């Protein structure tokens, strides 16, 4: 099929979320009434990835959350981050970020287990994370009362640019703040749990 690369490129570009090979194949097969193999699509995507990596482009195609998506290259993350901070009105509170981190590393996890780790109620944070679709209910525990279990969602993978949960930072990647004896560590302002920053 002529211009396969351009059609695939257009599909990846036009989607808000990562698009899978299966979705690309479905759109191409239906549009052109032909059966294009997944291998041919994958080979074409690999060539597109190489083109954007080698070329003088500010963006590239990355495999994220079982699909493909255009993303800015690392060299431009600072300026894009600045723009997003200026234009994003609703950000996660510190308590919601802490709750999300625990869910990401301990999933599937119940609310009582979350609260045991954090030492405070997580009702508000869980509600906000569910509203933002960063977490989802993944089932019920076998524990007494069969409490709900929470796990990260596909939107979480997309939002943080992760291909799989194995891409989460390992504990060894975090550095403890360095301080000398007698030097006071900086105090961060925190909101009481359950209060949004907005």
**Residue 86 belongs to a domain:** no
Which tens digits make up the pLDDT trace of 122-176? 999 999 899 888 999 999 988 888 999 999 998 888 888 888 888 888 866 555 5
pLDDT at 88: 63
pLDDT at 21: 96
**pLDDT tier at 60 (50, 70, 90 boundaries)?**
very high
> How many domains, in total, are found in the chain?
2
Which tens digits make up the pLDDT trace of 173-197? 555 555 555 555 444 444 444 444 4
**Residue 83 belongs to a domain:** no
pLDDT at 67: 93
Residue span of the structural domain in which 142 resides: 94-173
Cβ contacts of residue 31 below 8 Å, gap of 6+? 7
Domain with 103 in it: what CATH number? Answer: 1.10.10.10
68 and 102 assigned to the same domain: no
**Residue 168 belongs to a domain:** yes
166 and 135 assigned to the same domain: yes
**Residue 88 belongs to a domain:** no
69 and 102 assigned to the same domain: no
137 and 167 assigned to the same domain: yes
130 and 162 assigned to the same domain: yes
**Residue 62 belongs to a domain:** yes
48 and 98 assigned to the same domain: no
110 and 147 assigned to the same domain: yes
Q: Are 151 and 141 in contact (CB under 8 A)?
A: no
> How is the beta sheet containing 135-140 ordered, strand by strand?
109-110, 148-152, 135-140
pLDDT at 177: 52
Which tens digits make up the pLDDT trace of 62-117? 999 889 999 999 999 899 888 877 766 567 888 999 999 999 999 999 999 999 99
**Residue 144 belongs to a domain:** yes
65 and 98 assigned to the same domain: no
Q: Is 182 left (phi over 0), alpha (psi -120 to 50) or beta?
A: left
């Amino acid at each position: 099929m002529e211009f396969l690369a351009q059609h695939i490129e257009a599909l990846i570009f036009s989607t808000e979320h990562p698009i899978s090979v299966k979705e690309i194949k479905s759109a191409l097969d239906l549009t052109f009434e032909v059966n294009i193999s997944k291998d041919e699509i994958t080979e074409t995507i690999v060539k597109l990835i190489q083109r954007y990596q080698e070329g003088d482009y500010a963006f590239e195609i990355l495999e994220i959350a079982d699909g493909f998506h255009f993303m800015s290259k690392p060299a431009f993350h600072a300026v894009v981050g600045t723009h997003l901070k200026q234009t994003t009105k609703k950000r996660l509170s510190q308590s919601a970020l802490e709750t999300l981190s625990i869910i990401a590393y301990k999933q599937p996890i119940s609310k009582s287990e979350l609260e045991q780790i954090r030492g405070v109620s997580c009702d508000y944070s869980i509600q906000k994370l569910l509203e933002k679709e960063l977490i989802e209910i993944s089932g019920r525990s076998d524990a007494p009362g069969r409490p709900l279990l929470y796990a990260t969602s596909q939107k979480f993978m997309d939002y943080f640019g992760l291909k799989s949960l194995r891409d989460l930072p390992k504990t060894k990647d975090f550095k403890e703040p360095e301080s000398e004896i007698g030097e006071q560590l900086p105090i961060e302002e925190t909101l009481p749990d359950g209060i949004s920053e907005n």
